[in-house]
């Protein structure tokens, strides 16, 4: 059983703010990231594919939705504890009582944090609750306090990230299907399923004063989506892609016969109407610049320190992959397919999926040089690489689970040393 490529490719992290009308412009060239001396030892990455896990080189914070209860896992000592903020809590899981026909709930926080991001900051812990609240607590689980809240109702949250003093989250209000009246019943409209975005954007919540601001909003296009947010050197970077027509106007490909006959025409029409934009948001000044606009399909956009990568399409047979500086200047057009990229605080790690497995290349962006490469066994996927700690997806339970492995063990192919995270037992 293999992981779907679209699921694998959505790795994580980065953001923005709109201060002027949409448009693409250039900013001053950024410093070559290879020449910077930033301390990366405490670097964090928020992994959507890990179910919303916050990953560092020392620990992983595992969310309740993906792992049963929110947990803290120390990758050095192997310490694995329920991450609960309630003093003297017995960590009882909510359960349905057959006698009273009621859901009994002892309100253990570890079971109610949902899929929101949470991090540790000095003497505090922070998490974003299902009530759209940014909550701060001390490390002993006491003095829990709501320090900010997004007041507007939101249907869906996706990518999230904590920076030094702010929390950012994408949001989406949308409808997926038309509903029609059939007699006295509402029914889903058959065959013409629509996925049109009503409202998509990003909120910023201050970790200092709790102020909540909608910093980016787009409601003038179709199927708007932001895949990745990434913070580097006081800037948040993100990609935004959308269609300029409803998908239902494109050639149908839902039935097998339609797919065979119309897939090429569908791709041609899709490329005419899809747009990708890359933004640079300067956190301190609230300045937003669109650094690149691409008017055709790309396989995805991922960010690194001072650069970003646009993935190839159709396994490298369509549009080629390319690497750009953070200001939008193209550095290299690649001669091999790129369909995945592990977020990394060192050299970029580029992935190609072929013949049922992933091949990863450790690549020096600035020197345009492959340092080393390795092919993973089928079913294993690299997610994030931070210092000497790598995080992978490995088969586990009824599907896949996140695991950690040391840097050199990964490159030496010793994948049996990967330690998987397990769910809290039901």
pLDDT one-digit tens code per residue, 383-424: 888 878 899 988 876 667 888 999 999 999 999 999 888 765
Torsional sign, CA 159, 292, 315, 376: negative
- What is the pLDDT averaged over residues 19-24? 30
| Residue 300 belongs to a domain | yes
pLDDT at residue 239 in the model = 92
> Which of 243, 246, 242, 248 is CA-nearest to residue 189?
248
| Residue 288 belongs to a domain | yes
Number of domains in the chain: 1
Q: Residue 364 in contact with residue 345, Cβ under 8 Å? A: no
Q: Beta partners for 291?
A: none
**What b/e sequence results for 42-80 when a residue is b if at least 16 CB atoms lie within 10 Å of its CB, and e otherwise?**
ebbbbbbbbbbbbbbbebbbbbbbbbbbbbbbebeeeee
Please return the burial class of 355, using the count of CB atoms within 10 Å of its CB with bins 0-12, 13-18 and 19+: exposed
**What b/e sequence results for 5-18 when a residue is b if at least 16 CB atoms lie within 10 Å of its CB, and e otherwise?**
beebbbbbbbbbbb
pLDDT at residue 279 in the model = 96
pLDDT at residue 268 in the model = 79
pLDDT at 102 exceeding the cut of 70: no
pLDDT at residue 26 in the model = 38
Residues 6+ apart with CB under 8 A from 408: 388
Q: Residue 292 in contact with residue 278, Cβ under 8 Å? A: yes
**pLDDT (tens digit per residue) in 306-316:** 999 998 886 55
| Residue 32 belongs to a domain | no
Q: CA-CA distance, 107 to 126, in Å (whole number)?
A: 18
pLDDT at 23 exceeding the cut of 80: no
| Residue 37 belongs to a domain | no
The rounded mean pLDDT for the chain is 74
Which pTM was predicted?
0.76
Backbone angle region of 72, left / alpha / beta, with phi > 0 → left and psi within -120 to 50 → alpha: beta
Query: Given the structure tokens 């199927």, which residue do they identify?
Result: 223
| Residue 65 belongs to a domain | yes
pLDDT at residue 189 in the model = 42
* Pick from 27-36, 50-59, 290-299, 301-310: least confident: 27-36
Token output for 365: 């962006």
CATH number at residue 406: 2.130.10.120
pLDDT at 16 exceeding the cut of 60: no
Query: Could you give the percent of the chain with pLDDT greater than 70?
Result: 66
Query: Could you give the percent of the chain with pLDDT greater than 90?
Result: 22
Q: CA-CA distance, 79 to 76, in Å (whole number)?
A: 8
**pLDDT (tens digit per residue) in 323-354:** 999 999 999 998 888 888 886 655 689 999 88
Host domain of residue 142: 5-24+42-420
- What is the pLDDT averaged over residues 101-108? 61
| Residue 426 belongs to a domain | no
| Residue 29 belongs to a domain | no
pLDDT at residue 265 in the model = 74
Q: Beta partners for 47?
A: 53
- What is the pLDDT averaged over residues 126-153? 80
| Residue 233 belongs to a domain | yes
Taking the CB of residue 295, how many other CB atoms lie within 10 A of it? Answer: 12
């Amino acid at each position: 059983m293999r992981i779907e490529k679209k699921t694998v490719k959505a790795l994580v992290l980065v953001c923005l703010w709109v201060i002027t009308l949409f448009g693409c412009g250039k900013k001053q060239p950024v410093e070559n990231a290879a020449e910077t001396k930033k301390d990366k030892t405490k670097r964090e990455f928020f992994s959507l594919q890990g179910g919303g896990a916050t990953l560092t080189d020392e620990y992983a914070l595992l969310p309740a939705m993906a792992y049963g209860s929110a947990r803290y896992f120390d990758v050095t000592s192997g310490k694995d504890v329920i991450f609960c903020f309630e003093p003297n809590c017995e960590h009882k899981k909510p359960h349905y009582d057959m006698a009273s026909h009621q859901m009994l709930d002892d309100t253990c926080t570890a079971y109610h944090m949902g899929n929101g991001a949470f991090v540790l900051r000095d003497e505090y812990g922070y998490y974003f609750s299902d009530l759209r609240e940014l909550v701060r607590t001390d490390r002993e689980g006491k003095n829990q306090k709501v320090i900010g809240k997004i007041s507007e109702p939101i249907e869906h949250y996706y990518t999230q990230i904590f920076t030094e003093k702010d929390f950012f989250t994408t949001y989406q209000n949308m409808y997926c299907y038309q509903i029609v009246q059939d007699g006295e019943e509402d029914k889903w409209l058959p065959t013409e399923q629509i996925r049109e975005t009503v409202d998509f954007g990003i909120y910023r919540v201050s970790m200092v004063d709790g102020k909540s601001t909608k910093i980016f909003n787009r409601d003038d296009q179709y199927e708007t989506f932001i895949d990745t947010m990434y913070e580097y050197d006081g800037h948040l970077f993100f990609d935004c892609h959308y269609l300029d027509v409803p998908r239902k106007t494109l050639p149908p490909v839902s039935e097998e016969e339609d797919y065979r006959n119309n897939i090429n025409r569908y791709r041609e029409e899709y490329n005419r109407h899809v747009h990708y934009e890359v933004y640079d948001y300067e956190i301190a000044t609230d300045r937003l610049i669109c650094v690149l606009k691409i008017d055709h399909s790309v396989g995805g956009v991922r960010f690194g320190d001072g650069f970003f990568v646009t993935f190839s399409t159709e396994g490298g047979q369509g549009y080629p992959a390319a690497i750009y500086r953070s200001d939008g200047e193209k550095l290299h057009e690649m001669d091999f397919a790129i369909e995945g990229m592990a977020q990394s605080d060192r050299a970029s790690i580029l992935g190609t999926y072929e013949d049922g497995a992933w091949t990863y290349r450790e690549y020096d962006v600035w020197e345009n040089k492959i340092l080393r490469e390795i092919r993973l066994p089928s079913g294993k996927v690299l997610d994030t690489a931070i210092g000497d700690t790598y995080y992978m997806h490995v088969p586990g339970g009824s599907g896949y689970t996140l695991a950690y492995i040391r840097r050199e063990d990964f490159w030496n192919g010793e994948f049996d040393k990967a330690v998987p995270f397990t769910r809290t037992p039901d």
